[in-house]
Chain A
Amino acid sequence: MTRYVLRRILWGILLLILVSALTFVLFRILPTAEPARLRAGQNASPRVIAELRVDLGLNKPLITQFWLYMKGLFLHGELGYSYHSGASVRSLIFNRLPATLSLTIGAMVIWMAIGLPIGILSALRRRSRADRASMGVALLFISAPEYWLGLIALYLFAADIGQIRVFPGAGSYVGLTEDPWKWFTSLILPWLVLAAGFAAVYARVMRGSLIETMSEDYIRTARAKGLPERRVVLRHGVRAAITPIMTIFALDVGVLLGGAVLVETVFDIPGIGRLNYDAITHADFPIIQGTVLLAALFIIVANILVDIAYAYLDPRVRYS
Chain B
Amino acid sequence: MTLGAAELPYAAGGGSLGPMDFPAASAAQNGIAARSPLALFWRRFRQDRVALVSLAFIALLIVVAIAAPLVVKLLDLPGPDVQNSNLTNQFGSPLGPSLAHPFGVDQLGQDVASRVIYGTRVSLIVGLLGTAIATLLGTIVGLLAGFYGGWIDTVLSRFIDVVLAIPVLLLGLGLGAACEVRGCLDGHVHSGLGVIIFLIALVNWTYIARIVRGRVLSLREQEFVEAARSQGASGARIMLREILPNLAAPIVVYSSLLIPQNILLEAALSFLGVGVRPPTASWGQMIAAATPIFNTAWWYMVFPGVALLLTVLAFNLVGDGLQDALNPRTAR
Contact = CB atoms under 8 A, between A and B. Distances in A.
Interface stretch (B32-40, B65-73, B175-183, B223-231): B175-183
Q: Which of B168, B284, B295 has the most CB of A within 10 A?
A: B295
B177 A151 contact: no
Contacts of A11: 161
A145 B308 contact: yes
A126 B329 CA distance: 12
A44 interface: no
A276 B260 contact: no
A49 to B, nearest CB: 15
A299 B165 contact: yes
Contacts of A152: 301-302, 305
B156 to A, nearest CB: 14
Interface in B251-299: 260, 264, 267-268, 271-274, 284, 287, 290-291, 294-295, 298
B185 interface: yes
A207 to B, nearest CB: 8
A215 B329 contact: yes
Contacts of B169: 255, 261-262
| Secondary structure call for the B interface | helix
Interface string A130-169: 0000010001101111011001101100000100000000
Contacts of A208: 330
Nearest to A265: B272
A145 B271 contact: yes
Given A144-B305, A145-B284, A148-B301, A30 B178 contact: yes
B305 A295 contact: no
A43 interface: no
A54 interface: no
A289 B173 CA distance: 10
B186 interface: yes
B287 A300 contact: no
A183 interface: no
Interface of B: 161-162, 164-171, 173-187, 260, 264, 267-268, 271-274, 284, 287, 290-291, 294-295, 298, 301-302, 305, 308-309, 312-313, 316-317, 320, 329-330, 332
